[in-house]
Homo-oligomer: A and B are copies of this chain.
């Protein structure tokens, strides 16, 4: 036996990485999605550019995007017709619980406490459409009164104690990307609301190379975890679309799902232990087990707790050696049903590639419009490509769809997966469209996230919503949701046509995760964000009616809270409420809570009841 191996098995080899990498230019926007250095911009000639240098998309001129959007939405969208944002909206005055503030000032240094309006505003939303519209064109009626940035577990525990003692409401804050209204402050919350930003608790505490575990603070951001682990030859393998911004604590709290879950699992498969500061003290364990049966396990309640039970401060997670091989690929299919059929057959094998995602025809078209202007030879090439695809292969440009794949693993595993993919794809009329298209498609996710703030400036409101559904209902669900949105759009006599598109982003043996994108042009429409919320709500209703789940990985937040009685029995809801009361009896974690904002539900209910034209 190799003596190195034996010694590896008789002692842990823990390394302690340094501080996470900080780069100039990594500052985040306070008013729109993402990094300050990155954004879509319309040019006077009607082309669009993506500024900055962060993404593959950057710099190049995209002449086709705006014309295509105009066309799809059937709207008079002009580059020079801008829905101006006046700047920071009025931010409500901060309430102060004097005794709490005194305690906090003795607990935290001054630079760990902020009452700046822009900072408070940023901590009062998680990028839902309604929230983003509000901070640009309306206002948020209530935001955190104070934002604090504790840097140790002990200080977080002290903050929770102080809040319980002085009746203050705490809101844990990770990346601020929940898209579920989880951070939105209820207008009827009378107590002081304090946002606890975990941003300074962003370290990898240790990496255990023998047992492939790492202990990571909850505020560590995905991209930094990825970069730091990679330096030591490891990956966590968890890559949600928001990986650039979202945090480990947020992933656990929302029960997140990563794009490569076929290989690495979802967050619940990755977390071995979690430390939580709660009003009853700290949830913690002296040892980490590979797997255990320890009776009713409080840690299990933390997954999906969405900030309502305590503040996650750190977690022990599995890590994986970086894959020997990483390869991208892409496929074209004649239709969405063909693509779904391919995916279905692929899951009948035991090991699909790390990531397999299918966009429908509309999203495929969108990705084509995001290509930079081609000139010379490249232009000729593209025309030829198109000719081959549409004429020789017989694909209909108005029906064809694309699938992107990421393979990770040992060379032999990847080779076997590739063989299976090609064999099964052929059976469904699929054609390979190249590794480069796969890579671009996979990475486009990050840049596309900026699109919503861009089109909002041009009177277009857009949002995504996701669900999971068994295979047998997947196609019907997509059709139903698209039809319902079109109907609701028409009933309301909104301008132009709605954009509704979907993609399949996760595969399971039992079904899929489906993402919908919904957008419409609203110039001339009264209270457009409210109309949007109504339509989104109808879409959710249709999803549930079609057998879909309330959420695959975004969670409930406040946005979907009203649907809980549709998906859980009374007893299950009673359990949730009782558990919450039992572990947080004074409702310290009261606003990140899944309480309905009574105003919103009532408003929407009234709208639903009102007769429509």
Binding site for B on A (CB under 8 A): 1-2, 5-6, 8-13, 208, 210-213, 254-257, 263, 266, 269, 272, 278, 280-301, 303-306, 308-309, 318, 320-321, 334, 337-338, 340-341, 344-345, 348-351, 409-410, 412-413, 416, 427-429, 468-472, 474-476, 506, 508-513, 544, 547-556, 564, 566-572, 574-576, 578-583, 594
Say whether B255 contacts A293, CB under 8 Å: yes
- A292 touching B551 in the complex, CB below 8 Å, given contacts A12-B470, A12-B472: yes
Flag if A294 contacts B571 (CB, 8 Å): no
A303-B300, A304-B293 given as contacts; is B572 within 8 A of A9 (CB)?
A: no
* CB-based contact A550/B510 at 8 Å: no
Q: Indicate whether A429 sits within 8 Å of B1 (C-beta atoms), given known contacts A10-B475, A301-B300, A568-B285.
A: yes
Of the candidates B291, B297, B299, B416, the one whose C-beta lies within 8 Å of that of A513 is B291
Write out the residue numbers on chain B whose beta carbons fall within 8 Å of the beta carbon of A568. Answer: 285, 294, 298
Given A12-B472, A298-B575, A510 contacting B290 (CB threshold 8 A): yes
A321 adjacent to B348 (CB under 8 Å): yes
Of listed A291, A547, A567, A571, residue having the most chain B CB within 10 A: A291
The residue on B at minimum CB distance from A301 is: B296
Question: In the complex, what's the smallest C-beta–C-beta distance from A167 to chain B, in angstroms?
Answer: 20
- Known interface pairs A9-B340, A10-B476; 17 further A-B residue pairs with C-beta atoms within 8 A, sorted by A's residue number: A2-B428, A5-B428, A9-B475, A210-B470, A211-B510, A213-B510, A281-B574, A283-B571, A286-B566, A290-B509, A291-B508, A292-B550, A293-B552, A294-B551, A294-B568, A300-B304, A349-B410
Residues of B within 8 A of A269 (CB): 269
Q: Which residue on B lies nearest to A298, using beta carbons?
A: B575
Q: Are A301's CB and B304's CB within 8 A?
A: no
Query: What are the residues of chain B within 8 A of A350 when measuring CB–CB?
Result: 263, 409-410, 413
Q: Is the CB of A296 within 8 A of B308?
A: yes
Q: Which residues of B contact A281 (CB under 8 A)?
A: 569-571, 574
Chain B contacts for A513, CB-based, 8 A: 290-291
Please judge, given known A-B contacts A320-B509, A472-B12, A578-B583, whether A550 and B294 are in contact too, CB under 8 Å.
yes
Would you give the shortest CB distance from A441 to chain B, in whole angstroms? 22
Closest chain-B Cβ to A154's Cβ sits at a distance in Å of: 14
Which residue from chain B places its CB closest to the CB of A279 in the assembled complex?
A: B571
Nearest 3 pairs of A and B residues by beta carbon:
A281-B571, A289-B549, A290-B511
Q: Which residue of B lies closest to A416 (CB)?
A: B412
Residues of chain B within 8 A (CB-CB) of A564 are 294-295
Complex partner residue of A579 from B1, B286, B291, B583, CB under 8 angstroms: B583
Question: Which one of A11, A341, A572 has the greatest number of beta carbons of chain B within 10 Å?
Answer: A572
A210-B472, A318-B509 known; A304+B308 contact, CB < 8 A? no
Contact pick for A283, options B572, B581, B582, CB 8 Å? B572
Picked from B208, B341, B416, the residue with its CB within 8 Å of the CB of A5 is B341
In Å, the complex CA distance between A300 and B271 comes to 15
Q: Residue of B at shortest CB range from A300?
A: B300
A-B contact pairs, 25 of them (CB 8 A): A1-B427, A1-B428, A5-B341, A8-B472, A11-B472, A211-B472, A257-B293, A272-B510, A282-B571, A285-B569, A285-B572, A287-B547, A292-B549, A293-B304, A293-B554, A295-B305, A295-B306, A295-B594, A296-B309, A298-B576, A301-B579, A350-B409, A350-B413, A575-B582, A579-B582
A286 contacts which chain B residues (CB < 8 A)?
566-567
Q: How far is the CB of A309 from chain B (nearest CB, A)?
A: 7
Which single member of B280, B300, B341, B510 contacts A9 (CB below 8 Å)?
A: B341
Q: Whole-angstrom distance from the CB of A396 to the nearest CB of chain B? A: 14
The residues of B that contact A427 with a CB separation of less than 8 Å are 1-2
Name the CB-closest residue of B to A546.
B287
Q: Kindly provide the distance from the CB of A221 to the nearest chain B CB, expressed in whole angstroms.
A: 20
Q: Which residue of B lies closest to A547 (CB)?
A: B287
Q: Is the CB of A282 within 8 A of B341?
A: no
How far does the alpha carbon of A212 sit from the alpha carbon of B508 in the complex, in Å? 10
Q: Chain B contacts of A282 at CB under 8 A?
A: 569, 571
Contacts of A287 in B (CB 8 A): 544, 547-549, 567
Q: Nearest residue in B to A556 (C-beta to C-beta)?
A: B295
CA A580 – CA B582 in complex, angstroms?
A: 9
A430 CB to nearest chain B CB (Å): 10
A468 touches B549 (CB 8 A): no
Q: List the B side residues contacting A551 at CB < 8 Å.
A: 292-294
Distance between Cα atoms of A210 and B548 in the complex (Å): 16
A433 CB, min distance to chain B CBs, angstroms = 18
A469 to chain B, nearest CB (A): 7
Q: Which residue on B lies nearest to A277, using beta carbons?
A: B571
CB distance from A507 to the nearest CB of B (A): 9
